[in-house]
Amino acid sequence: MSKEPVVIGLDIGSQTIKILGAVKDDNSDLYRVQFFEEVPTLGFSRGRIKDEKILTKKIIELFEKIEEKYNTKIESVIVNISGSRLELMNNKASVSVGGANGKVSEVDKERVLEDVKAVILGNNKKVLKVFPKEWSLDGEKDIADPFGLQGIRLGLEASILSCFSSDREILENIILNSGAFVEDIIPTPFADANALLDDTQKELGVLLIDIGFGTTSMVVYEDGKLVDLAIFPVGSSHITNDIAIGLQTEIDIAEKIKLDYGLPESSNKKIQIHLPTFLSDEDLDEEIKIGKKGENCLIFTEKNLKDIIAPRMSEIFDLIKERLKKMNKEKLPAGIVITGGGSKLKGLQEFAKKEFKLPCKIGQPSKFIGFERNDPSYSTVCGLVLTEGEFEEDRVPDKKGFLKKFKDFIDNIIP
């Protein structure tokens, strides 16, 4: 049995809360799944916590289920943060190289990283992560890592990802009140990217879209660097609501129509649904399914359905296209990867190709052994596990890190 510690991801979504525990495989870059469970979400909507007590109760229920079923106590988790109040902005900073030997040290790098964080966020926002875009030394740019180089002035251009302080504090309180420690907090789009994108895609230029239940997120990479990240308060549940209103039917019927028929070809082909049996999983006789003489039936055409779904999908994609246009990133060679529960909509891939005029594919996690759910709705929870140790910001440093910083400090004083 592997001695590697179990890495635990907790994905809090608008529809379900998912928990995944996995260990790194000794012989590959894959992870072996130890447990997976999910429960319906309550107290959370459109990427934001609405009721702290109810959400805490659901997470405790999930933790207890893991302990009872797998004999594993949840002590710490890597959890996602979502919501439209995540913000990415750019900033620059520079510092004088402080070492007596004139070489850039880790202390110098940390000093400029701290300075670049000094953007005007306001009292209600907190820095989640700094993404270095370009290091410079005495005016020389495009330096991959300035450590050990001789120079006078060290500069950094970076992207700063921030969130509402209250969102983060409430999230941490909920996990602590559920009996666990927050190992790290990862924005949903970043977790998705770790699960689905490779270095080549990030280098060429790629757009990743996660269509969730209550929100849609996007993240853009180019030249191997994070270019943009945004979350919009509209998701697949809005499509379900549109279908319910447009076809004048109940919400659970509308959800199943969405999943079964998706974005059909625009035609007058008739679809007839026998309402009393439509939600049944039983293998019923076709005559019973469609009803006798159209009794208790919902009748519509493929064109009717497409005319309901397409405008909402276009609205979501227009928000993303507008963002890309502002950055002049409308042509990305690696194309688009779409994930999340909403990406299971039939016909979505072709629809997205036409909308963006770029290659497009549906992304689903594949780096896990013993996880049969090859499903795009599990991208985030898988990405949280894969992000272990890569996103730490303002966390307790380990002893080795402390000793290294102390040595750099001494080197700065003594030539």
pLDDT score recorded for residue 185: 93
The answer to whether the beta carbons of residues 218 and 339 sit under 8 Å apart is no
CA distance 24 to 287: 52
- The CA distance from 346 to 338, in Å, is 13
| The predicted structure's pLDDT at residue 201 | 97
**How many other β-carbons are positioned within 10 Å of the β-carbon of residue 321?**
16
CATH architecture under which domain 7-84+166-198+366-386 falls: 2-Layer Sandwich (3.30)
Full-model pTM:
0.86
Confidence at residue 403, expressed as pLDDT on a 0 to 100 scale: 46
10-residue mean pLDDT profile of the chain (415 residues): values are: 80 93 90 94 77 93 96 96 84 90 92 87 83 93 92 94 90 95 93 95 97 94 93 94 96 95 88 90 52 74 96 97 94 96 95 96 91 86 88 49 46 48
Looking at residue 50, what is its pLDDT? Answer: 83
Domains 7-84+166-198+366-386 and 87-165 share a fold: no
The domain limits of the chain are: 7-84+166-198+366-386, 87-165
CA angle 145, 148, 154 (to 5 degrees): 65
CB 9 within 8 A of CB 183: no
> CA-CA distance, 117 to 130, in Å (whole number)?
7
Residue 39 contacts by C-beta under 8 Å, 6 or more apart in sequence? 16, 17, 58, 61, 62, 65
* Torsion, CA 87, CA 93, CA 99, CA 103, rounded to 10: 90
Say which CATH topology domain 87-165 has. Answer: Dna Ligase; domain 1 (3.30.1490)
133/91 Cα distance (integer angstroms): 10
Range 365-391 burial, b when 16+ CB lie within 10 A, else e: bebbeebebeebbbbbbbbbbbbbeeb
pLDDT of residue 45: 73
The DSSP symbol for 103 reads B
| Of the candidates 4, 397, 378, 396, the residue with the CA atom closest to the CA atom of residue 191 | 378
Instruction: Write the DSSP string, 230-257.
Output: EEES--HHHHHHHHHHHTT--HHHHHHH
| pLDDT, tens digit, 9 for 90 and up, residues 194-239 | 999 999 999 999 999 999 998 999 999 999 999 999 999 999 999 9
Q: What is the pLDDT of residue 224?
A: 92
120 burial class (0-12, 13-18, 19+ CB within 10 angstroms)? exposed
Structure tokens at 45: 């909507």
